[in-house]
Amino acid sequence: MIQVHNLVKRFHSFGREVLAVDHVSFTVSAGEVYGLLGPNGAGKTTTVRMIVGLLQPDAGYAEVHGYRTSQANDAVKARIGLVSAEDGVYPWLSVREMLLFFADLYGVPTPVARERLAPLSELLQLDSFLDRRCSTLSTGQKQRVTLGRALIHDPPVMLLDEPTRGLDVIGSQVVFEYIAHLRRQGKAIIVSTHQLDEAQRLCDRFGLLHQGRLQYEGTLDDLRRLTGRDSLVDMFVGLLGRPVVGPITVSP
Amino acid sequence: MPDDNSLQHEISATGDSAASNSGSTPTQHRSATGRLARLCLKELRETLRDRRTIVTLVLMPLLVYPLLSILFNKVLSLSGDASQKYECRVGFEAPSKEDGALFEQYFQLAEGVWRIRRTAQNQGANQQPPPSGNRPDPAPEPTIQWWKGPNLEKQVANGEIDVAVFVTRVPSSRPGQQSRSLRLQLLYRESSALSKAGLEYLERRFSAFNEQYLLERLQSSGQRARLPILQQRRVIRDTRPAVSLTTLIPLILILMTITGAVYPAIDLTAGERERGTLEALMAAPVPRLSLLTAKYVAVVTVALLTAVANLFAMTVTLFSTGLGEAIFGVSGFPALLVSQVFALLILFAAFFSAILLAVTSFARSFKEAQAYLIPLMLLSLAPGTISLMPDLKFSGVFSVVPLVNIVLLARDLMEGHVDPALATIAVASTLIYAVAAIALAARIFGTDAILYGSQASWSDLLSRPREYRDTPSISGAMLSLAVLFPVYFLLAASLQRLQWLPTGTRLALAGLVTVVLFALLPGAFTLLQRIRFRSAFRLYPAPFAVCGLAVFLGLSLWPLAHEVFLLNRVFGITTLSGERVQEAEKLLGQLRLLSPALVLTTLALIPAVCEELFFRGYLLGALRQRFSSGTTIVLTALLFGVFHVVVTSALSLERLLPSMFLGLVLGWVCERSGSLLPGVLLHATHNGLLLLMGIYRDQLMDRGWGSQEREHLPLLWIAIATACVVVAGVCLHWLTRNRTPRPPSENAPA
């Protein structure tokens, strides 16, 4: 469903070149939750943005549902639901108006979008504020609107970039339930996060990014065997203390 | 992996494919136009609900105009400050010296009576009302300077003097006796405060004199008496060019329209980034140009709503305070002027909103956008002041200078003399700049440099695309057009100035200009935008039969083109002066002396090749990505027509219709054949034939083949030509029936 092949991205900052993503490759199948883990600045967000086509890779490519991002960007975008921690809402639109607007952007006819709104608002508990202006919502409510927005066109692929950042326990719980729901729906999901305990509970497979390189990749059991450590947190601590080398992967 | 066709389908109904993947109901196809309308609606809804928009839209005009009217009133009354002495020039005209002397005598007496009454009034001012029953006038009086000269009426009209008095003696009721009554006609300008002050000065004195006379006669005898002075007012229109306040009004409106547009322009571009909605918007499969167009419509609408609110508030203020009369004369703020100013405001809003969006699209935050807008505001104030220079003529070059053209057009409109050709150029170029600004905005809006801040450098924004493409992007084509149009206009105008050069050299230069503009410049754009030459200019072979039919069409089109040319008369477009016809005749005479090969190469072959490269190659290909075949053909034909209006000599609107007609045919041939070659052949044949007919007109006339240029052709000719065109068209349609149009292959599957 998602194929990332040797993605490379360099940024130029004050005359210095920074290698943000360094030949990263992985695949995610339908119904699988892939955790893209790493400390801040590891290249998680950049990788996600390159998959959607919001950033152009310097080398390599990403493929979604058979379409290459660099060549059929609209086809790729149509198949992705993107949730980002920095997502905002339109303050002067009501929640319903905003969701229908995004449905329209993705070419979903309004009657179909209205039908989808009912189960979606039930899942994310939007009912109580569906007709309120977004400017009056709390942070948690806004985040739920964002999760709904990413799902209104019913995409087969979901990219969640730090979906729980800035949320309280209840807010985070909504996100976990949301991801579980997406998995049941058979969607291919990438969750980028640095909250490792959550990731451990949620994800089927993991990619550990450090300084732009994919250091370890595989299921939790694979990683335990590879690193000799039990929890993701321990693996991470070990990773941060270790010099950067090529990816150590276990083929699934 | 999907093939080409299924990809096209999937992209056009992206939601459907996503929906079908997860088993939802299939959905019907929805047009891009419908979605654009809904996008516009959303942007408008969002903007109009914003309190800050309402403030600029409603509160500003409600506050500004009453305040401005107070200020203006202050200015007007300041000019009559008691501390300032002001002089009023009054002329008088009498049929005879005797009448003149009597008038002077009466005026002296009237002045005396008035002074005595004033003194009495001032002494008893606090207790008693003045004898005439009038309220004491607080306004200071002007000093009168008498003026003699011919044609007083004209002098009042153009402001050389302020009031004119026409003296005639009232005929006596008793035969043989001369009456001592004078009839005075007082001529003044309603629009001039000074003129009105002079009028009232005289009227007060003559009325006082009459009252005093009546009083004395009643006291002495009780007889009925005829008044010594019969007064009559007469107004005259001001013929001086309206400066100051009349030109200030459109400026104020323009500034207020800007005020209305600025906030939504920032909010809908930089605001998206600041709110965090930009990334989600960019992640949706919608062309950036569509998003920008929706934002543009919203900004223009708010700008226009602000303009309407301002125009309304200004009209009401001018009407209710009486300032309208002071500025525009008795007619106040006339309805025609209001509608003309509004039409101009629409054009201005269309232009300025596009510029604003282009500038604010660069910004990543509200603050940054505001910083960019300040220099733009200052820059746009400069042309505003130009309208205050009365001697500046709205001429050729100014008609393509952005903003200056609108301001000068506004001024000419207010003064009531607009050159329709120049107005057309100004409007056309302004709209082209607006489209180009939107295209630029679409190129910048939401790019990763804007979306993710400092991660990409500014130079990346205008850098060349990484991969080669088949057709120019629509935004790239619009930018090229915006560069080409003024350059073309200036080069064409410069060529006109080189009349002293030999005709052959001028022809060669004209050919060179055509090559540079329509072949080299688009070629350079193609290189810069990394587009494949072959596909960008449709350099594909065409079947021999199609080429033959194109030549046949080229030979048979001219009678129809001629009749289309004559349609101009029906629409009342006649800018061809006798002088210009003579010029054309002269040029034709010069062409006859040159080698036909040179003439045909420079005026038929080179334009045919180069214009086809640009219009049917570059432009058509770019527009075809966004529009249907029919719309694309019409749009390119329209642009082709507009370019021909400004070609070589002065602006000849007559060329618009025949050029558009030719453009439609050429566009259709190119779309059907998928190749540039048949169009080039058609174009060259058509041009060549017309040229040869012009050069050999006399010979043709001698053989009875000619026809007068400005006459209809014989019906038989038109019938034959129509039949030929129809047959050629049907054959061409049939021959190209199996040619599937090349789809834009930007989104090739992996």
**B328 pLDDT tier (thresholds 50, 70, 90):** low
Which residue is listed with tokens 């007082």? B186
A113 CB contacts (<8 Å, ≥6 apart)? A99, A100, A103, A104, A152
**Interstrand relation of B87-93 and B143-147 (parallel, antiparallel or unpaired):** parallel
Q: For B336-364, how does the pLDDT look when each residue is reduced to its tens digit (9 = 90+)?
A: 767 777 788 888 888 889 999 988 888 88
Taking 90 as the threshold, does the pLDDT of residue B131 lie above it?
no
What percent of chain B lies above the pLDDT cut of 90?
10
Report CB contact under 8 Å: B285, A74.
Answer: yes
Please give the residue of chain B at the shortest CA–CA distance from A155.
Answer: B18
Average pLDDT, integer, range A104-108: 90
Average pLDDT, integer, range B635-640: 90
Taking 50 as the threshold, does the pLDDT of residue B377 lie above it?
yes
Which of B15, B280, B747 is closest, CB to CB, to A149?
B280
Sign of CA dihedral B196, B198, B199, B205: positive
Q: What is the pLDDT of residue B666?
A: 94
Q: Give phi and psi for B236, each to the nearest 5.
A: -130, 145
- Pick the range with the lowest mean pLDDT from A167-181, B92-106, B463-477: B463-477
**B246 pLDDT tier (thresholds 50, 70, 90):** low
Does the global pTM surpass 0.80? no
Our measurement of the distance from residue A171's CA atom to the centroid of its chain's CA atoms, rounded to an integer in Å, reads: 17
Report CB contact under 8 Å: B275, A89.
Answer: yes
Report CB contact under 8 Å: A78, B285.
Answer: yes
Taking 90 as the threshold, does the pLDDT of residue B69 lie above it?
no
Q: Measuring CA to CA, which residue among A225, A189, A192 is closest to residue A208?
A: A192
A191 CB contacts (<8 Å, ≥6 apart)? A33, A34, A35, A36, A160, A163, A179, A199, A202, A203
What percent of chain B lies above the pLDDT cut of 70?
77
Q: Give CA separation, B750 vs A54, A68, B46, B283, in Å.
A: 18, 5, 38, 19
Please give the residue of chain A at the shortest CA–CA distance from B31.
Answer: A107
Our measurement of the distance from residue B218's CA atom to the centroid of its chain's CA atoms, rounded to an integer in Å, reads: 67
Q: What is the pLDDT of residue B295?
A: 92
B256 contacts B61 by C-beta, under 8 angstroms: yes
Beta bridge partners of A208: A37, A216
B391 contacts B411 by C-beta, under 8 angstroms: no
- Pick the range with the lowest mean pLDDT from B89-98, B223-232, B243-252: B243-252
A57 contacts B15 by C-beta, under 8 angstroms: no
DSSP state of B682: H
Report CB contact under 8 Å: B747, A61.
Answer: no
Q: Measuring CA to CA, which residue among B607, B671, B615, B672 is closest to residue B638?
A: B615
Which of A92, A107, A186 is closest, CB to CB, to B13?
A107
Query: To the nearest whole number, what is the mean pLDDT of chain A?
Result: 85
Q: Measuring CA to CA, which residue among B382, B385, B430 is closest to residue B405?
A: B430
DSSP state of B614: I
How many Å apart are CA B79 and CA B195, to the nearest integer?
13
How many Å apart are CA B334 and CA B556, to the nearest integer?
52
Q: Give CA separation, A234 vs A197, A201, A221, A241, in Å.
A: 11, 15, 14, 11
Q: Is the CB of residue B748 less than 8 Å away from at least one CB of chain A?
A: yes
Most B CBs within 10 A among A73, A89, A100, A104, hence the mutation to make, goes to A104
Q: What would the two tokens of residue B562 be?
A: 């001629």
**B250 pLDDT tier (thresholds 50, 70, 90):** low
How many Å apart are CA B299 and CA B289, to the nearest integer?
15
Report CB contact under 8 Å: B276, A86.
Answer: yes
Q: What is the pLDDT of residue B117?
A: 85
Q: Measuring CA to CA, which residue among B418, B431, B376, B425 is closest to residue B398?
A: B425
Please give the residue of chain A at the shortest CA–CA distance from B27.
Answer: A109
**B window 464-503, beta carbon within 8 A of A:** 466-467
Taking 50 as the threshold, does the pLDDT of residue A44 lie above it?
yes
How many Å apart are CA A78 and CA A164, to the nearest integer?
24
Which of B1, B282, B455 is closest, CB to CB, to A66?
B1
**B79 pLDDT tier (thresholds 50, 70, 90):** low
How many Å apart are CA B610 and CA B619, to the nearest integer?
12
Q: What is the pLDDT of residue B130?
A: 47
Q: Which amino acid is at B12?
A: S
Q: Is the CB of residue B738 less than 8 Å away from at least one CB of chain A?
A: no
Q: Which residues of B468-504 are buried (b: 16+ CB within 10 A; e: fewer)?
A: ebbbbbbbbbbbbbbebbbebbebbbebeeeeeeebb
Higher pLDDT, B129 or B285: B285
Report CB contact under 8 Å: A104, B35.
Answer: yes
Average pLDDT, integer, range B639-660: 74
Higher pLDDT, B69 or B664: B664
Q: For B566-618, how does the pLDDT look when each residue is reduced to its tens digit (9 = 90+)?
A: 877 776 666 566 666 777 778 788 888 888 888 888 888 999 999 999 999 99
B217 contacts B223 by C-beta, under 8 angstroms: yes
Taking 90 as the threshold, does the pLDDT of residue B561 lie above it?
no
CA distance B392 to chain A (A): 47
Taking 70 as the threshold, does the pLDDT of residue B459 lie above it?
no
Report the C-alpha dihedral over residues B474, B476, B477, B481, rounded to 10 degrees: 140
Q: Is the CB of residue B224 less than 8 Å away from at least one CB of chain A?
A: no
What percent of chain A lies above the pLDDT cut of 70?
92
Report CB contact under 8 Å: A82, B283.
Answer: yes
B103 contacts B94 by C-beta, under 8 angstroms: yes
Sign of CA dihedral B335, B340, B343, B345: negative
Which residues in chain A have their CB less than 8 angstroms from residue B13's CB? 107
Report CB contact under 8 Å: B49, A185.
Answer: no
- Pick the range with the lowest mean pLDDT from A123-127, B322-326, B746-750: B746-750
Which residues in chain A have their CB less than 8 angstroms from residue B50's CB? 92
How many Å apart are CA B187 and CA A160, to the nearest integer?
83
Average pLDDT, integer, range B462-476: 74
Which residues in chain A have their CB less than 8 angstroms from residue B365's CB? none
Tell me the three-class secondary structure of A157-176, residue by residue. Answer: EEEEECCCCCCCHHHHHHHH
- Pick the range with the lowest mean pLDDT from B476-490, B501-515, B548-562: B476-490
How many Å apart are CA A65 and CA B430, to the nearest integer?
45
**B window 34-73, beta carbon within 8 A of A:** 35, 38-39, 42, 45-47, 49-50
How many Å apart are CA B333 and CA B311, to the nearest integer?
11
Which residues in chain A have their CB less than 8 angstroms from residue B467's CB? 70
Average pLDDT, integer, range A81-99: 90
B604 contacts B691 by C-beta, under 8 angstroms: yes
Report CB contact under 8 Å: A153, B22.
Answer: no
Q: What is the pLDDT of residue A241?
A: 66
Q: For B495-546, how does the pLDDT look when each residue is reduced to its tens digit (9 = 90+)?
A: 777 777 888 888 888 888 889 888 998 898 888 888 888 888 888 888 888 9
Which residues in chain A have their CB less than 8 angstroms from residue B45's CB? 92-93, 97
Q: Measuring CA to CA, which residue among B602, B478, B463, B608 is closest to residue B529?
A: B463
CA distance B675 to chain A (A): 26
Helices (H), B322-334: 323-328
CA distance B460 to chain A (A): 11
Average pLDDT, integer, range B269-276: 87
Please give the residue of chain B at the shortest CA–CA distance from A185.
Answer: B22
Report CB contact under 8 Å: A13, B454.
Answer: yes
Q: Give CA separation, A78 vs A108, A150, B146, B286, in Å.
A: 10, 11, 85, 9
Q: Is the CB of residue B28 less than 8 Å away from at least one CB of chain A?
A: yes
How many Å apart are CA B115 and CA B121, to the nearest integer?
10
Q: Measuring CA to CA, which residue among B53, B578, B523 is closest to residue B268?
A: B53
ipTM: 0.90
B349 contacts B304 by C-beta, under 8 angstroms: yes
Which residues in chain B have their CB less than 8 angstroms from residue A93's CB? 42, 45-46, 49
Query: To the nearest whole number, what is the mean pLDDT of chain B?
Result: 77
Report CB contact under 8 Å: B24, A77.
Answer: no
Sign of CA dihedral B425, B428, B434, B436: negative
Q: Is the CB of residue B457 less than 8 Å away from at least one CB of chain A?
A: yes
Report CB contact under 8 Å: A75, B11.
Answer: yes
DSSP state of A246: S
Q: Is the CB of residue A82 less than 8 Å away from at least one CB of chain B?
A: yes
Taking 50 as the threshold, does the pLDDT of residue B456 lie above it?
no
Q: Is the CB of residue A185 less than 8 Å away from at least one CB of chain B?
A: yes
Q: Which residues of B611-636 are buried (b: 16+ CB within 10 A; e: fewer)?
A: bbbbbbbbbbbbbbbbbeeeebbbbb
DSSP state letters, B223-259: -----SEEEEEEEE---S---THHHHHHHHHHHHHHH
CA distance A224 to chain B (A): 35
Q: What would the two tokens of residue B594 be?
A: 């040159």
Q: What is the pLDDT of residue B492?
A: 76
DSSP 3-state assignment of A252? coil
Taking 60 as the threshold, does the pLDDT of residue B25 lie above it?
no
Q: What would the two tokens of residue B234 be?
A: 């007469």
DSSP state of B276: T
DSSP 3-state assignment of B714? coil
Please give the residue of chain B at the shortest CA–CA distance from A49.
Answer: B283
Q: Is the CB of residue B226 less than 8 Å away from at least one CB of chain A?
A: no
Beta bridge partners of A26: A4
Q: For B668-708, how does the pLDDT look when each residue is reduced to its tens digit (9 = 90+)?
A: 999 988 899 999 999 999 999 988 888 888 787 777 666 55
Q: Is the CB of residue B14 less than 8 Å away from at least one CB of chain A?
A: yes
- Pick the range with the lowest mean pLDDT from A90-99, B40-49, B316-325, B497-506: B316-325
Q: What would the two tokens of residue B578 be?
A: 């006798």
Taking 60 as the threshold, does the pLDDT of residue B556 lie above it?
yes
Higher pLDDT, A206 or B699: A206
B611 contacts B641 by C-beta, under 8 angstroms: no
Which residues in chain A have their CB less than 8 angstroms from residue B264's CB? none
B11 CB contacts (<8 Å, ≥6 apart)? A72, A74, A75, A78, B285, B747
Q: How much of chain B is helix, strand and coil, in % rounded to 5?
A: 70, 5, 25
